[in-house]
Amino acid sequence: MRHFLTLKDYTKDEILEILDLADEIKAQTKKGDLKLYLKDKTLAMIFEKSSTRTRVSFEVGISQLGGKALFLSSRDIQLGRGEPVKDTARVLGRMVDMIMARVYKQSDLEELAKFSGIPVINGLSDDFHPVQLMADLMTMREFGKDINSLKVAYIGDGNNMANSYILAASKLGFELRIATPKGYEPCDSVLNLAFDFAKESGAKILLSNTPQTAINEADVVVTDTWISMGQEEEKIKRVKDFNGFTIDRVLMSLAKSDAIFLHCLPAYRGYEVSEELFEAHADEIFSEAENRLHAQKAVMVWLYRRKDE
């Protein structure tokens, strides 16, 4: 059974196939003739954390494809009262066709995958946000960037988004420069895995603690919140530690003149990005948000077709 838990389980060709499908699905949607690829299928969506884009893109996405979504907040289902993940998985596996889950622990996604017997999609965990990456890559291509010769700068926290960029670069073979404050580097296990994949793909993954080094001549500049969901109590310390990492017009001027700026959202102006820079790149950022809808439809359709491999 195939799942979509991290990009480490996907080949370069498979990632590109999903991106091509996302383009096709977007075009069909815009023309008003989207095929009902998931007619009568049901997606259970488990949320342990808040969400706007992920919930709406999957819920609207499956309904456009002819299926239905069930929104299951962990506050409302027995999982939140301590029912084991593996029991929840076995029940859902007998009632629905696919699961998308936003959770704290990556191991809970693995448990859902192991016990449900149906495809499971990671809608964000503390470690990875692979469905966001599909929308980001789709947006880069739409804005004319060639994935094979890209230089991407990721500036900020070495978090789930950074980890997902590392895996994407290592599979697709692009150059990724990451700048984090000291002590906020991405975890070694993800980096080691990526350095291994990079031997085959030719990816370059460079780490530094200076945003100026990372952003120099970049084609795409990416950031994310300094305070991820679940880290609210660290806010004061993090804001202090990330001083100097705000992406503003001056920092962005070091990137290529036609560089695009992406942010998975929600964005916190005055912290990871200035209001001025955010608004100057709003078209790119909200195209990225819109592409969640089409990329997430592509992930569901592709996975459902290939689930038995």
Is residue 224 flagged as an active site residue? yes
Per partner kind, with CB cut-offs from 5 to 8 A, the member of ligand CP, ligand NVA, none near residue 125 is none
Across the beta sheet with 42-47, the strand order is 68-73, 42-47, 98-102, 120-122
Indicate whether 64 belongs to the interface with ligand CP (CB under 6 A).
Answer: no
Which of 142, 175 has the CB closer to ligand CP? 142
Is residue 132 flagged as an active site residue? yes
Tokens, residue 183: 């002590």
Among 6, 51, 116, 122, binds ligand CP (CB under 6 A): 51
With helix as H, strand as E and coil as C, how does 100-115 read?
Answer: EEECCCHHHHHHHHHH
Backbone angles phi, psi at 267, to 5 degrees: -105, 140
Which of 88, 225 has the CB closer to ligand NVA? 225
Indicate whether 170 belongs to the interface with ligand NVA (CB under 6 A).
Answer: no
Indicate whether 265 belongs to the interface with ligand CP (CB under 6 A).
Answer: yes
The active-site residue, picked from 264, 281, 294, 296, is: 264
Q: Say how far apart CA 158 and CA 20 lie, in whole Å.
A: 29
Indicate whether 187 belongs to the interface with ligand NVA (CB under 6 A).
Answer: no
Per partner kind, with CB cut-offs from 5 to 8 A, the member of ligand CP, ligand NVA, none near residue 281 is none
Strand-pair partners of 179: 155, 208
Cβ burial of 229 (10 Å; 0-12, 13-18, 19+) is middle
> What is the enclosing helix (H) or strand (E) of 176?
strand 175-179
Among 6, 116, 122, 159, binds ligand NVA (CB under 6 A): 159
Stretch that binds ligand CP, among 25-33, 45-53, 69-77, 86-94 (CB under 6 A): 45-53
Number of residues binding to ligand CP, judged by CB under 6 A = 8
**3-class DSSP assignment, residue 81:** helix
Tokens, residue 196: 């291994």
Is residue 187 flagged as an active site residue? no
Residues that bind ligand NVA (CB under 6 A): 124, 159-161, 224-225, 228-229, 264
Binding residues for L-ornithine, by number, are 160, 224, 228-229
